[in-house]
Amino acid sequence: MQTDTVITKLETIARQKLAASLSTDIDATQLDLKENMSDIYGLTSLNKILFITSLCNEMNIDLSNFNEDDLGNMQTLGNVIDILNKHIN
């Protein structure tokens, strides 16, 4: 079970990494965890992979933990946080 501190750190870093991956300027704190990252924020498929890779590197999560279904289920920032949180040691 993860502590609130780890989850908060993951969310903070995820917000920062997503904001940096977007083509438009948006404050990381304004990102909605429930909004579709592609539809609402314009995140491209390539930038999604780069965002997730960067986030996994920052959080020391091995990318081999994920398959195509996992990546397909990462539609919202909340999805990304929930899925990655399961692999934090």
Q: What CATH number does domain 4-85 carry, 3.40.50.2300, 3.40.50.1010, 1.25.40.10, 1.10.1200.10?
A: 1.10.1200.10
pLDDT digits (tens, 9 = 90+) for 44-73: 999 999 999 999 999 999 999 999 999 999
Per cent of the chain over pLDDT 90 is: 88
Give the type of residue at 20.
Answer: A
Alpha helical stretches, state H, 22-66:
37-41, 45-59
pLDDT for res 22: 95
Q: At 33, is the secondary structure helix, strand, or coil?
A: coil
Task: Specify the pTM.
Answer: 0.90
pLDDT given for residue 13 in this prediction: 97
